[in-house]
Structure 1
Amino acid sequence: MSTIGSFEGLQPVSPKQEGDDQTSETDQLSTEEGDPGTVSGPRQTSRPPSVTESALYPSPYQQPHISQKYFVTRPGAIETATEDLKGHITKTSGEKIQGFWLSTEIDRWNNEKERILLVTDRVLLICKYDFIMLSCVQLQWIPLSAVYGICLGKFSFPTMSLDKRQGEGLRIYRGSPEQQSLLSGWNPWSTEVPYATFTEHPVKYTSEKFLEIKSSGFMSKLVPAIQNAHRDSTGSGRGKGLMVLTEPILIETYTGLMSFTGNCNKLGYSLAGSVGF
C-alpha cells in the first residue's frame, strides 16, 4: 500500500497588548520636559514587539470549528479505536501490530472513506471504524505476501472527467486487474478490487497526535514488512520482490455525481450532523 496522504489561510497573529492605543508615561514626560518654544511634529512612539505569537494550526486550511466536527478528533476517540483493534487482533490471530495510521481510502468511484490502517508482520488490515459508536464495522485482511506493488504520485483522471481531485496519494496493488470479474469491477461495495488507494485524512494537521499517524510513517513500516513477508513465503508462482513506483495514480471516473455529492458533504466520515456510509 494510511506513502500516504498539501492542504493556505490562517496566519500567525500577534495579540494586541493592553495600552497600545495610549501614550506611555515616558512619552508624556518627554513631551513635558521638552523646550517650551520648540514646535515638534507628530511623534511616532516605538512599541516593544509582542511577547506572544501564535498560530491556530500548522495548516491554514484547517479551522477549529470544522475539525471538531470529525468524531475522530473527540478526546479519547482514536485511543479507544486503537485499543479495541489491538485487543481484537491479538485475541483472534496473535499478530503483533507494528502501528496504526488514520487515513482516507479513495475507491474506484472517487468516494472518500475514513479508514484506520494497521500493519502486522504478515498482514495489512484496512478497518472501517465507527467513531460515533466506537466500534469496528468492517475489517479487511490483506496478506503482505500478496502485495507486489506500491505506487506514489498525484491523482490523475481521464481528460473528459467532470469529477477530479487535487493532491497526492498511494495505491497498493495486491493482484492483477485481469483477475477481477466484471461484476466486482462495477460493484462499489466490492472488496475484490485488486488495489487500494489512500490519501491523507482531513484532520492530519489539527494536532501533533494526528501528525504522528500520517502516511510517511505508514510507508516506513509497510515496505519492510512486505519485503520480509515475501522472503518468508513459499510456493508462490511469481517472482519475489516489491515494486515501488512514482507515477500518477489514475482514477477512472467521468461524471462522478455521487462522489461529488458524498465528498462535499463528507459522507464517508464519522461527522457531526451528517449521515455517513
Structure 2
Amino acid sequence: MTDNQQANGNTSIEDNLDDSSMPEVSFQGGTLSLNSVETNLLHEEKKPTAPSTLPLANANNGANNANFVRGRPKSAPLSPVVQDGFYASKIGRLESAVLECKKATIKSDMDGEVQGVWLLTEIDHWDNEKERLAIVTDNSLLLVKYDFVAGAVREFQRINHIAVDALQIGVFSYPEKSLVSPRDGTGLRIIWSHGRQPTFMERWNPFCSTIPWLTLTSHPLEHSGTREEDTYQIDPFKNVYIQAINNWRLKQNQALSNVSSSPVTIVDAPIECDVMLGLASTVHNQSRLGFYRERGGVSF
C-alpha cells in the first residue's frame, strides 16, 4: 500500500521485542507516546560500503548446498473460508491499522516521509511466522506488531537504512533431513552487522533479539483477489524498500563527500532456514498462531 493509496541521521536500531511484550500506549497532553526499549546496534556512522567489501557469509550458506531442499517460488492461494478468518481482511481494519501504526511509531525528524505500507509475514530464526505491518520511510523501515482484535500497537522495531549491509532475495531452503516441509514463495532477508554469524546461544534461544538479520515474505492474503492484494505481497514492498535505501545512500554521499554512492548489495540466493526438528514452529505455523484470526468463536 503506497502513500498514494493510504494517507500518510540515525545510527541505531530499536531492539527486537518478544511477542509477549506489551508496551504501554498512553496519551499525555494530546501526544501519543509508545514505551519501548531501544538498543544501539551501531556505534558510529559509516558511509555506504561497496558491495565487494561485505563479508556476507550468512547470505550464502544454503545457496549451492546439495544437502538443502528448496521450496517452490510461488505459494498456493488459501481457500476463501480461511482467508476470511484473518482480521486484516475485514473491511476497514487494515486502513485503521495503518493510521494507528503511523501515529504510534513514526517520528518525522527521524524517519522522514512514508513511502509505503504493507502487511507481511516475518519469519524468525526458529521458523515461526508472525504478522507484521511494514512501513518504509525515507530513512528507515518500521516493523509493527499490530493487534487487529484490540486495535492497538503491541510492539515495533526500527531498522535504519544506515544499518543495512545487504538484501538477500530468493526461495526458502531447508536441511534435507529436516522434518519441516520447505516453505513456498520468495523471501527477503535484511542483513546488518557486516554479515556476522549468530552465536550458538543466539541460534538456540527462541527469544533472541540480536540475530543480525530479519526475514520477510508475503502475507497469507497475497492471493486475496482484492484491490489491496499488492499490500500483502513481498515483491512490491521489496522494490520500494530497495529504492528507499539507495535514495538514502545517494543523499548521504552527496552531503558528505559529493561522490557517487554505491547501491545496496543484492544477494540472489536461496534463503537458508537452518531448522532440523521444527516441531514447535510446525504447530505454530499450521495453526497460524502468529496472525490475528477468528478461531472457533474466540479471536486472537
TM-score normalised to structure 2 length: 0.66
Asked if residue 169 in structure 1 is aligned to residue 237 in structure 2, the reply is no
Q: Counterpart of 2:168?
A: 151
Contact in 1 for aligned 2:128/2:284 (Cα 8 Å) = yes
Alpha-carbon distance change, 71 to 255 in structure 1, aligned in 2, over 3 angstroms: same
Structure 2: distance between partners of 1:190 and 1:116: 21
Q: 264-273 vs 172-181, which deviates more?
A: 172-181
Alpha-carbon distance change, 112 to 268 in structure 1, aligned in 2, over 3 angstroms: same
CA deviations over 1:115-167 (Å, ceiling 9, x no partner): 11111111111111111111111110001111121111111112221113232
Alpha-carbon distance change, 79 to 186 in structure 1, aligned in 2, over 3 angstroms: same
Alpha-carbon distance change, 91 to 229 in structure 1, aligned in 2, over 3 angstroms: closer
Q: How many residues align?
A: 218
Alpha-carbon distance change, 207 to 134 in structure 1, aligned in 2, over 3 angstroms: farther
Q: Secondary structure at the match of 1:219?
A: helix
Question: Looking at CA atoms only, which structure, 1 or 2, has the larger radius of gyration?
Answer: 1
The runs of 5 or more residues in structure 1 that have no matched partner are 9-60
Structure 2 counterpart of 1:178, which letter? R
CA deviations over 1:160-213 (Å, ceiling 9, x no partner): 211132322111112235374544333222222111111111111113233121
Structure 1: distance between partners of 2:220 and 2:159: 25
Q: Offset of 1:87 from its aligned partner?
A: 2.1
Q: Which of 229, 239, 242 is the equivalent residue of 1:220?
A: 239
Q: Which of 122, 128, 132 is the equivalent residue of 1:111?
A: 128
Asked if residue 207 in structure 1 is aligned to residue 275 in structure 2, the reply is no
The runs of 5 or more residues in structure 2 that have no matched partner are 1-72
Structure 2: distance between partners of 1:148 and 1:94: 19
Q: Counterpart of 2:84?
A: 68
Contact in 1 for aligned 2:111/2:138 (Cα 8 Å) = no
Q: Which of 268, 280, 289 is the equivalent residue of 1:258?
A: 280
Structure 2: distance between partners of 1:102 and 1:138: 15
Contact in 2 for aligned 1:180/1:194 (Cα 8 Å) = yes
Q: Secondary structure at the match of 1:255?
A: coil
Structure 1: distance between partners of 2:243 and 2:195: 25
Structure 2: distance between partners of 1:276 and 1:259: 21
Alpha-carbon distance change, 90 to 151 in structure 1, aligned in 2, over 3 angstroms: closer
Structure 1: distance between partners of 2:111 and 2:266: 29
Structure 2 counterpart of 1:106, which letter? I
Q: 255-264 vs 91-100, which deviates more?
A: 91-100
Contact in 2 for aligned 1:119/1:222 (Cα 8 Å) = yes
Identity, % of aligned positions: 30
CA deviations over 1:202-225 (Å, ceiling 9, x no partner): 111113233121222212211121
Asked if residue 196 in structure 1 is aligned to residue 214 in structure 2, the reply is yes
Q: Counterpart of 1:124?
A: 141
Structure 1: distance between partners of 2:120 and 2:224: 14
Q: Counterpart of 2:102?
A: 86
CA deviations over 1:43-67 (Å, ceiling 9, x no partner): xxxxxxxxxxxxxxxxxx3322211
Structure 1: distance between partners of 2:111 and 2:249: 20
Q: Counterpart of 1:77?
A: 93
Structure 1: distance between partners of 2:100 and 2:128: 26
